[in-house]
Structure 1
């Protein structure tokens, strides 16, 4: 837990191929101290990487585990700490590995909770002594509320009323976390655990949690892409994209978004940890970003980072040298990528596009270097 006693800055790795040594060395070279590592795009030994089959977990496939360990070894050699971050759990297959369909089974049937606990017990047993591991991020961007009757970005009082009804049921996210945490602690009492807020790790979605988890080695994580209507890929396909700063749809109404509004929105998880008497050193912004080709992207990154730095929070930008999607790979600048980028994806070979410290990357680069 000592690693997290001072602000830590890093990047997200959501690549289709396990990152090589040069990748980790480059991220460390910018000054990053950690990487949030997802493996769900890697070629699995069976149906789902490390899970075997998200429909019915029966144990960790050894070939997948070996591949993960080798990747952790490379990160450690580069001097980076790693937060392991699954995008899928039993009964919750990541939509991009599920024909684009949201998988709600984990939030309907606690039988999958038991399988998820078995998975995390097994994984913690295997990884607890690896020197690269800085935390286990139990699941990326859970959304039990999505099909459970709670609107995204609902007012805090409405969220709390919803949770009063959902508590104890299969959509009770804090209860799932308690079960996974208990399973991990059976085999690993020391490694920190990172938990994302609900509604895709929305920065306002801890609002309904009545108490923190009963473990002092827990980090609470939110993601920051709001206003999503401006920062995301669909905006770039609009005839007239929403600009940042500017008026953008959010929570059912048009709101003006700028640095001040970003600060107001990110004040919500800060208020929650303060109210719960959780140290701010336990709050993480595990992802943030915007489409690099959006003219206001650099300003958006600057505004978000200004808030994070002012409050001395841990953060990891999305994303570093992603080899399956170029949208938030800021080292590529603001130009379209050439055809060979997409050809490499189709052929399953490494992406060889050169990266450099562009103007779009500058807000992040400056702060990593501090």
Structure 2
């Protein structure tokens, strides 16, 4: 018996192998949480409130925070030259607050070199990353630096390499194409700059040069569509990878543009999807979400490695509560990890279910214009109940 190992354990030392097992073991049982896409770095009360509901993790995006240069943490998406020290310090302080609350964090950038998030790019989709592999090397350098800086932070549960990539968008592959068409498209694009699995392999290799143990989360293509893993011929060659999709389908009904219609599309109801008018209800939601499950089963990827990293609907849509119930029913059935969109977002109220179904008062928008903290109180509402009751069971 190695008594020195017992002695070190009593002192609180954890051998590297055990650290690795613990990081991945967090994801061995279903984990439920929320998304934080706030314009201001969240304070301690924010994370404490999410944890009080029963959440175990939070997916944090920082791209709306005030940057030292053009783009937060990247410096400038036009050319990466290192992590700005003040941005990194801000991110560390946020991770510290999440850790004090008892939450694990998945770091989820919305931008990479050559792929500036459209809302920070005057509303224009940035396709450079998917045309020029020079930006792949810069993205690898960025993630290598992030891993070096944050690999020992106790809050970090995964690196989500990029939020909602869409290398297919400026090509000839439509959203929700048939599996056969997706696979033909990928066979043509494989090895080129639109090869998403190849980019992920390069970024993963860069991270592993600095950090051998932290799990890596990868979104599917076409904005993390649930059917967009279909064209992947194999999983990534790393056994610490989580595969993530987002669920807003049928987008024509769940999204903000629908609420601007004179007569919004209803859920359940007939909704345009993939060029057709389809009936969407709980059965259709389950059918659609079967796509990543089928892919994982075919590839021998355990269900514990599948994540629904975002899902939601406009809180003022009359059928939103039923939609959340239908989506969560499927996720519960298959024991998948999930994070709802979004928790107490201070720049957009559309999917902030604690606000109920009423319009927000003018002071909410005034605070945004003035760069002040969100002034609105939050509380559990009927709109939030499908999420709240499931988070409560995790406590």
Q: Same fold (TM over 0.5)?
A: yes
1:128-162 deviations in Å (ceiling 9; x for gaps):
00000000000000000000210000000000000
| 1:8 and 2:31 are equivalent in the alignment | yes
Q: How far off is 1:352 after superposition?
A: 1.4
Q: How far off is 1:85 after superposition?
A: 0.2
Distance 1:279 1:297 in 2: 30
Name the residue aligned to 2:181.
Answer: 158
Structure 2 gap segments, 5+ residues each: 1-23
1:28-64 deviations in Å (ceiling 9; x for gaps):
0000000000000000000000000000000000000
What TM-score does the superposition give when structure 1 sets the normalisation length? 1.00
Map 1:339-358; keep pairs closer than 5 Å: 339-358=362-381
Distance 2:130 2:143 in 1: 17
Within the candidate set 262, 265, 275, 1:242 is matched to 265
Distance 2:80 2:121 in 1: 16
Distance 2:124 2:101 in 1: 37
1:239-291 deviations in Å (ceiling 9; x for gaps):
11100000000000000000000000000000000000000000000000000
Distance 1:96 1:156 in 2: 30
1:150-187 deviations in Å (ceiling 9; x for gaps):
00000000000000000000000000000000000000
Within the candidate set 129, 145, 168, 1:145 is matched to 168
Map 1:42-121; keep pairs closer than 5 Å: 42-121=65-144
Distance 2:220 2:33 in 1: 20
Q: How far off is 1:208 after superposition?
A: 0.1
Q: Counterpart of 2:321 in 1: which secondary structure?
A: helix
| 1:300 and 2:351 are equivalent in the alignment | no
Name the residue aligned to 1:269.
Answer: 292
Within the candidate set 182, 194, 216, 2:217 is matched to 194
Q: How far off is 1:120 after superposition?
A: 0.1
Q: How far off is 1:218 after superposition?
A: 0.1
Name the residue aligned to 2:190.
Answer: 167
1:92-113 deviations in Å (ceiling 9; x for gaps):
0000000000000000000000
Structure 1 or 2, whichever has the larger Rg, is 2
Q: How far off is 1:124 after superposition?
A: 0.5
Q: Counterpart of 1:360 in 2: which secondary structure?
A: helix
Q: How far off is 1:292 after superposition?
A: 0.1
Distance 2:237 2:349 in 1: 39
Name the residue aligned to 1:320.
Answer: 343
What TM-score does the superposition give when structure 2 sets the normalisation length? 0.94
Structure 1 gap segments, 5+ residues each: none
Name the residue aligned to 2:6.
Answer: none
| 1:335 and 2:358 are equivalent in the alignment | yes
Distance 2:26 2:172 in 1: 38
Superposition RMSD on alpha carbons, in Å? Answer: 0.3
Q: Counterpart of 2:278 in 1: which secondary structure?
A: strand
Distance 2:171 2:228 in 1: 14
Within the candidate set 178, 182, 185, 2:208 is matched to 185
Distance 2:374 2:144 in 1: 35
Q: How far off is 1:335 after superposition?
A: 0.1
